[in-house]
A and B are shown apart, each in its own frame.
Chain A
Amino acid sequence: MDFKKITIIGFILTCLAQLFIPAKMIMDQENVLKTGTEFKFRTRPVDPNDPFRGKYITLDFMDNTFLVNSNDGWDRNENVFIEFTTDSAGFAKIKNVTRAAPDNPNYLNTNIGYFTTTEDENKMELFFDFPFDRYYMEESKAQPAEDVYREASRDTAQITYALVNIKNGGAVLKDVVIDGKSIKDLVEENEGNKN
């Protein structure tokens, strides 16, 4: 095979890979969105930005810890499977943390962030950084979104949660909801009131 042919085949393969990877990302996310189970995660948002992907709010989850037996030798950064269930108020709660994938598809594959010891010598508390802690906003709306959140958080009766679909280890963040309304709509309402 001559050099020219190799170049052409190489070029075609590269182009296909460049198209396939984004397409695969879309398909994986769509699959979780369409067939995954929806959970509500209680959260507190803040507002940083990413040089390539724009403005987003970072979500700080509240129920992201789990007590385990310290004899099992859990380690920081270890890859684990977290099984979720819903509590009486309808919010997501960690049901179990395992090293092998559970049969139930409502689990997330992630790493242990860090752990702390507890008063009970035999127990330790694992902390997780859930891999759906970024909600991208339109550039001009990220700051107002944070303001809306801050106002909402003064009123302790209001509840902020993230709407997340979960399936077989993957998760897709769909929306951030403050007191029953999507943060996008709230920002627009607020902007409208100001004008």
Chain B
Amino acid sequence: MKNDLPQRHFGKITIQLSELIEAGILTQEKAAEIQLFYKKDSDQSQNRLFAVFGVLGAILVGLGIILILAHNWDDLSTSIKTIIAFIPLIVGQGLCAYSLFKKTDSQAWNESAAAFLFFAVGASISLISQIYNIPGNIGSFILTWMLLCLPLVYIMRSSIVSLLYLIGITYYACEMGYWGYPTSTPYVYWLLLLLAIPHYYYLFKNRPASNFMVFHNWFFPLSLVIVFGTLAKDNGQLMFVVYMSLFGLLYLIGYLPFFKNKRRISNGYSILGSLGTVGLLLSLSFDWFWKELRVNDIELMSQEFFVATIISIAAIALFIWKIKNIPENKVMPMEVMFMAFILIFIIGIYSPVTAVVLINLLIFAVGVMTIRHGADENHLGILNYGLLIITALVMCRFFDTNISFVIRGMMFLLIGFGFFFVNYWMLKKRKKEAL
């Protein structure tokens, strides 16, 4: 078994090995082999720790420099400020050069130096904007910064810069698409995102079990979920279809073979896909959305319709691929939600009441199927997630005042008993299996 061994455990093993040799159980050669095996693991674990602290240190120092420069020291002359603007940049480049040529194999050096240079570039551009009062909106500032740092991802093989870059381009997209005035669709974001994919693929191929891969598995889908909304123009309603299909697609990606036998928390795709689907369905279980939906409002030649079509086709294609190629995987309720939603959306255009009823039934069905899934897998977390979905549904209906208090009360009682009963039943089943 391959495990990461802290140094103190390694010391213990050495002592135990010598005891075993003395007792005549182990030969000297075998003991040396075992020692070597554990030593390698122990070194690796230490390296990882060194990398984590190196990167954290570099990020903190980099941010510290940005903040100190942001004070805008009046007493310094323009020329001194200009020189200061270049110092962190040159130091960062020097560190990167040193790590590139002298410490090629040290991940700790590469990541820390690259992280420092990343912030040094930001500090340098911002100080110059400050000296010359260049207003330039924050969007274009971040865009310049990210473009200047993107090569570091590939040259330094730096995953931390890749993550910082993902944060940066997401911020840029939000600035352009949501916060700035006037807003504009940040199409450049998609190109920038595309430029980050080769490194993601490199991690996927070469370091699939690394923590950086886990972080990428969260940052990528999260960035997509945040930025997709910037594609909305005048056909906002269609964005619900876009998002539902996006969550479906993410959920499907989360169930690809790569994620099998990995910790659930490391799977940002399936968690975001699932939470997003349920959250969106719950918000659509009220009638406000459907009352507003009119056939005339839906423009077929719009950007939203185009995006909705593409993303839905992509999700359906992945769904079909999965059924054909991984038949042993059962179809999860969450995987088909987006298709059901498209049908309900079309029905809702003509009959809002039917749509509201169908959505409520759909959420209920998801809840029940999730509970069953949890029971089948003997997983208390999934089981209670199913119960929470139904609880949330009941909570939402609690706000609809046209349901009588008695019925609402009964619903709560039922759910409450449900929680007790199902958890009790599961724990009992586990005990039985243990015996």
Contact = CB atoms under 8 A, between A and B. Distances in A.
A43 to B, nearest CB: 13
Nearest to A58: B135
Given A11-B97, A54-B70, A138-B72, A22 B134 contact: no
B388 to A, nearest CB: 36
Q: Which of A15, A19, A184 has the most CB of B within 10 A?
A: A15
Nearest to B82: A26
Given A14-B155, A141-B74, A22 B124 contact: yes
Interface in A1-56: 7-8, 10-11, 13-15, 17-19, 21-22, 25-26, 29, 50, 52-56
Interface in A46-101: 50, 52-56, 76-77
Nearest to B136: A131
B199 to A, nearest CB: 14
Given A14-B151, A18-B89, A132-B133, A54 B71 contact: yes
Given A7-B100, A10-B155, A54-B70, A133 B86 contact: no
A173 interface: yes
A172 interface: yes
A11 B155 CA distance: 6
B126 interface: yes
A32 B73 CA distance: 23
A139 interface: yes
B85 A22 contact: yes
A140 B297 CA distance: 52
Nearest to B150: A14
Given A11-B100, A29-B134, A136-B72, A52 B121 contact: no
A127 interface: no
Interface string B353-382: 000000000000000000000000000000
A22 B66 CA distance: 15
A134 interface: yes
A135 interface: yes
Interface in B139-157: 141, 144, 148, 151-152, 154-155
Contact of A54 (B72, B90, B141): B72
Given A18-B89, A25-B134, A134-B133, A139 B72 contact: yes
B130 interface: yes
A137 interface: yes
A141 B74 CA distance: 9
Of the four ranges (under 10, 10 to 19, 20 to 34, 35 or more), the interface on chain B belongs to: 35 or more
Given A26-B82, A131-B135, A53 B130 contact: yes
B70 A53 contact: yes
A137 B134 CA distance: 13
Nearest to A135: B133
Nearest to A9: B155
B423 interface: no
Given A11-B97, A21-B148, A77-B182, A50 B138 contact: yes
B281 interface: no
A184 B130 CA distance: 15
Contacts of A29: 132, 134
Nearest to A170: B134
B125 interface: yes
A68 to B, nearest CB: 19
Interface string B102-139: 00000000000000010001101111111111111010
A139 B70 contact: yes
Given A7-B155, A15-B93, A50-B138, A172 B133 contact: yes
A18 B70 contact: no
B89 A22 contact: yes
Contacts of B134: 25, 29, 134, 172
Interface of A: 7-8, 10-11, 13-15, 17-19, 21-22, 25-26, 29, 50, 52-56, 76-77, 131-139, 141, 172-174, 184
23 contacts: A13-B151, A18-B93, A18-B148, A21-B144, A25-B129, A25-B134, A26-B128, A50-B138, A52-B138, A53-B127, A53-B129, A53-B141, A54-B70, A54-B72, A76-B182, A77-B184, A134-B133, A136-B72, A136-B130, A138-B72, A138-B73, A138-B74, A184-B74
Interface of B: 66, 69-74, 82, 85-86, 89-90, 93, 96-97, 100, 117, 121-122, 124-136, 138, 141, 144, 148, 151-152, 154-155, 182, 184
What 4 pairs across the A-B complex have the smallest Cβ distances? Answer: A54-B70, A29-B132, A134-B135, A14-B151
Given A52-B141, A53-B141, A55-B70, 15 more contacts: A11-B100, A18-B117, A19-B86, A19-B93, A25-B132, A29-B134, A50-B70, A52-B122, A76-B182, A133-B135, A134-B133, A135-B133, A136-B131, A138-B71, A138-B74
